[in-house]
Structure 1
């Protein structure tokens, strides 16, 4: 008799959809990046190990920056005050500024889910400071963002490989990092920084299953989510 097909592994915790995840207390109450500025102690330059302002200032014309999970957009507003008038700055956040103020002309603040939002242009710089910790399909967002870069653009984001899990709940950290590096990304384990230089089409060998908002604290000490995948 033929053998029955293997039974798919069952995740140790119930997984939730993107809509359910974004309504969870872990994501809805997240304040990881709301007040961070452009430079200084609590800044993008310190967190990412690269100065967004210096990177953008080196652009010959119309520098463009997309900040995913931008919080209050403080860093973007500070950049708008010193960059050329033709700069293009975009911030996307699930909640957006809690105390809205008119943005400068160069800045567009978008309240939307980074899991479903798509830009209509490419950018010289794309950042995501601690935002991936609260995105369900974080590998999917990374592959999409790769295609949003200009030819010599830079993507810089924080990434926790331990938040990537196999369907049975076991860690997929090494597999995920290996796949990302094979696709052209660089990863610094010491700083949990993921970077990619140059826009491109990326396909990673994973299929997203859902997220676990009860995963507990990650390396930041703050509650985060776990993303579950099957390998292709």
Structure 2
């Protein structure tokens, strides 16, 4: 029995599941449909409590960037806010001085500075190499920074399509991540260089709905074999 047909990054990002995704486009900072509700943490309050010069927020898969736009005028002038999205804002609105909006693939983009807060609200569901993005983002934190990303272990698959979520969660926890199963939320505190024992093989854009009820991507990995022979 063969596994699903896997595609590379370019094909995945042109697929209807990713290119037309509206999961996080309109989510605001606070309220019913908000970052505060989904994360269980108010980003504005968290950033406001930081010391001067430690108020930087990177939002991956930021959609229209509504949460960043709402936070910008309420933060001190030293705040740095960055949103990265494959499509970028569709509405032609003025950009606050503290906000940088970048239209790029989060799978290839990299920042030029560390961040105190990094969020990815329901964005990993549409990324092929989810583990690759998580390990890269871990190195983008400041020493006391916080990474928060929604993650569905059921989306992580072996080469034949079988589930690999349990093994991946164990590896993520060993690397310092914490996982809240109720919120489907990974968190990591403090920058670090992380290597996970998995090799990315490709993505399945036909994986179907995940726990959100929306179509999502299946990410397929093989277990990396480490030669321990002397």
Unaligned runs of at least 5 residues, structure 2: 225-230
For the residue of structure 1 that corresponds to 2:205, the secondary structure is strand
TM-score norm. by structure 2 comes to 0.96
Q: 1:11, CA displacement in angstroms?
A: 5.3
Match of 1:173 among 137, 161, 165: 165
Tell me what 2:18 maps to.
27
CA distance in 1, matches of 2:37, 2:195: 30
**Corresponding residue to 2:77 among 61, 82, 85:** 85
Post-superposition offset of 1:207: 0.4
Structure 1 Cα separation of the partners of residues 120 and 140 of structure 2:
13
Take 2:52 and 2:214, find their aligned partners in 1: how far apart are those partners? 39
Aligned mates of 2:19, 2:65 — CA distance in 1: 17
Query: Contact conserved, 2:31 with 2:37, CA < 8 A, in 1?
Result: yes
Corresponding position of 1:60: 51
Q: Give the structure 2 partner of residue 163 of structure 1.
A: 155
Contact 1:11/1:167 (CA < 8 Å) preserved in 2? no
Q: Output the CA distance in 1 between the equivalents of 2:11 and 2:85.
A: 17
CA distance in 1, matches of 2:52, 2:163: 44
Q: Distance in 2 between matches of 1:11 and 1:134?
A: 23
- Matched position secondary structure for 2:132: helix
Q: What pairs with 1:177-192 in structure 2 (closer than 5 Å)?
A: 177-192=169-184
Measured on the aligned residues, the alpha-carbon RMSD in Å equals 0.8
Residue from 210, 222, 228 that aligns with 1:230: 222
Q: Confirm or deny that 1:125 pairs with 2:141.
A: no
